[in-house]
Amino acid sequence: MSETVPALPVRDVEAAVRFYASRLGFPAVHEDAGFAVVRRDAAELHLWEAADERWTHRDTAGSPVRSGAESFLAGTASCRIRVVDVDGLHAELSAAGVLHPTDTGAPVDQTFGSREFSALDLDGNLLTFFRWD
């Protein structure tokens, strides 16, 4: 095995790509219908469109939701991204206005050894940036 790549559900891939590039500094390196790959340094994220609304128009008792692209999935994911300069990135993303509403104004030193902070994407997916000493 080589690496793990988070795949985050979004409502609109094009809007998410613009957000990731302009607010989080992750430009797209691949875009396709309903799917995109964004990258910043060595961190890569996959964005997939969770926009299937068919579940709202069917009897779910006899036909459970199964497509994997249901709109209610957007904004339910989270991932952790290891960074070198967690304080510098915190300042950058603070200026971009994307920090989690509970942000304390600086990265937090956790008891388990990481220094971290969290941000939210356009759909509410949680991105935690951390340095592990």
Q: What is the DSSP letter of 12?
A: -
Q: How confident is the model at residue 97 (pLDDT cuts 50, 70, 90)?
A: very high
78 DSSP β-pair partners:
126
In angstroms, rounded to a whole number, what is the distance separating the alpha carbons of residues 54 and 65? 9
Q: How confident is the model at residue 133 (pLDDT cuts 50, 70, 90)?
A: confident
pLDDT higher than threshold 80 for residue 3? yes
Q: What is the pLDDT of residues 100-127, one digit of tens each?
A: 999 999 999 999 999 999 999 999 999 9
Residues 29-83: pLDDT tens digits?
A: 999 999 999 999 999 999 999 887 766 666 655 665 556 667 777 888 999 999 9
> What is the pLDDT at residue 62?
62
- 3-class secondary structure for 90-120? HHHHHHCCCECCCCCCCCEECCCCEEEEEEE
C-alpha 122/C-alpha 77 separation (Å) is 12
Task: List, in sequence order, the alpha helices (H) in the chain.
Answer: 13-24, 86-95
For the chain, what is the largest distance between any 2 Cα atoms, rounded to a whole number of angstroms? 52
Q: Which tokens sit at 81?
A: 């991204």
More confident residue, 131 or 50: 131
**100/77 Cα distance (integer angstroms):** 14
7-132 folds as: 2,3-Dihydroxybiphenyl 1,2-Dioxygenase; domain 1 (3.10.180)
According to the model, what pLDDT value does residue 121 have? Answer: 97
